[in-house]
Amino acid sequence: MKISGVGKIVVTSMLAAGLAGVVKAEDTKSADKSFLADSAQDSLAEINYAKLALQKSQDKNVREFATMMIKDHEKLIESMKPFAKQLGVKPPSGPAVTDHVKYETLKMKSGTDFDRAYVEAMVKDHHADLKTFIEEGNKTSDPELKAAVAKGEGVIKEHTMMIDKIAHMGGIETPAMPDGA
């Protein structure tokens, strides 16, 4: 069977579209893997910072926030584990190196200097994390992961609003909420 010029274009277009779908699915899966690995590391860092805050802070609001961080980020890690396992993402051994540096910097502070530095770090981290969760929710094609990300996004949004409120009480400026929040 001979295919005419127009037929060749149609067949070529169909093949290209099919391949683009495969590439897009692979890109989405790769993005999902990166998101899962990064969010697990970020949650481990949040837990470490919060434990430090419970040791060093005397501020009631900071201590309540830190307690919530530990509980919620442990749950967040657990809720993402099945997706990470399914995609072959190994659990991180700990937070990222940059988070370790931030931890050591916080550890050297005390009193109100610690509280201010901790709150500033949590404002920055939570605004960035919320943006990341919103973006992943928009990108992923996996409906179950999308639902888990949406639930996590709600938790991160609650954290962001809470830490912004604590920051404002301490005279610390905060950025606007990310688009889509």
Give the pLDDT score at 2. Answer: 52
pLDDT in tens, 4-42: 554 444 444 444 444 444 444 456 688 999 999 999 999
Q: What is the DSSP string of 20-78?
A: HHHHHHHHHHHHHHHHHHHHHHHHHHHHHHHHHHHHH---HHHHHHHHHHHHHHHHHHH
Q: How far is CA 87 from the centre of its chain?
A: 17
Question: Token digits for 56?
Answer: 């060093």
* Mean pLDDT, residues 49-54: 98
Residue 180: band (very low, low, confident or very high) from pLDDT cuts 50, 70, 90: confident
Rounded distance between C-alpha atoms, residue 104 and residue 70, angstroms: 18
* Mean pLDDT, residues 37-66: 97
* Mean pLDDT, residues 41-63: 97
- Mean pLDDT of the chain, nearest integer: 88
pLDDT in tens, 100-139: 999 999 999 999 999 999 999 999 999 999 999 999 999 9
Give the pLDDT score at 28. Answer: 62
Q: Does CATH number 3.10.450.50 belong to domain 29-169? A: no
Give the pLDDT score at 40. Answer: 95
Q: Give yes or no for residue 94 having a pLDDT over 90.
A: no
Give the pLDDT score at 27. Answer: 60
The long-range contacts involving 52-56, CB below 8 angstroms and separated by at least 24 positions, are: 52/103, 52/106, 52/107, 52/118, 53/114, 53/118, 56/107, 56/109, 56/110, 56/114
Using left for φ > 0, alpha for ψ between -120 and 50, and beta otherwise, residue 32 falls in alpha
Q: Which helix (H) or strand (E) holds 100?
A: helix 97-107
The CA distances from residue 77 to 15, 16, 85, 93, 146, in Å, are: 40, 38, 12, 13, 15
Question: CB under 8 Å to 66, separation ≥6 — which residues?
Answer: 49, 50, 51, 53, 54, 57
pLDDT in tens, 132-160: 999 999 999 999 999 999 999 999 999 99
Residue 48: band (very low, low, confident or very high) from pLDDT cuts 50, 70, 90: very high
Each domain of the chain, given as residue ranges in start order, spans 29-169
